[in-house]
Amino acid sequence: MTKQVGIIMGSQSDLPVMAEAAKFLEEIGIAFELTVVSAHRTPERLVEYARSARSRGIQVIIAGAGGAAHLPGMVASMTSLPVIGVPVKSSNSIDGWDSILSILQMPGGIPVATVALNGAKNAGILAASILGAHDQELGARLDAYKATLAETVLKSAEEIETKGWKAALRK
């Protein structure tokens, strides 16, 4: 099966965060690859990854990085594929704001879709939505997923309304 999404991260220490995108893509049935590509320590690997992604069948790239977080923007500068940036709160991060702003504040012409700090699951959902825009079957799976979110909220509301908010807090 051709891998449709590339998940890359600047360091293996980002894996606990980025695994959430992989889990969602696996759950929804989208083939992906996952690897480490450091913008600063392996720049040649970054160039090769970004420039070869389309020819390898990748349609969306999810790039997670902490600290200065150059990976998503650098990849976006080398491919016309959609790139979704995941700012990661890493050990060398200033409360994650450095990562958020490094990914969010891209210059004109080099867009990077940006999700919340450590928001890799949302990056996976966004990648699936991009692919699902032209894939009816995948779109239906995403609709079913979204329906489960609504069901969860309605169950919570019912529990609070019938048992009271204090009982719901003890749960």
| All structural domains of the chain with their residue ranges | 5-134, 136-171
The fold of 5-134 is Rossmann fold (3.40.50)
Pairing of strands 5-9, 32-36: parallel
Do 30 and 6 form a contact (C-beta atoms < 8 A)? no
Query: To which residue do tokens 């996952």 refer?
Result: 34
Q: What is the pLDDT of residue 95?
A: 87
Q: Over the chain (171 residues), what is each successive 10-residue block's mean pLDDT?
A: 95 96 98 96 97 98 93 97 96 86 94 97 98 97 96 94 90 71
Q: Which residues are annotated as a binding site for substrate?
A: 11, 14, 41
Q: Which residues are annotated as a binding site?
A: 11, 14, 41
Which pTM was predicted?
Answer: 0.94
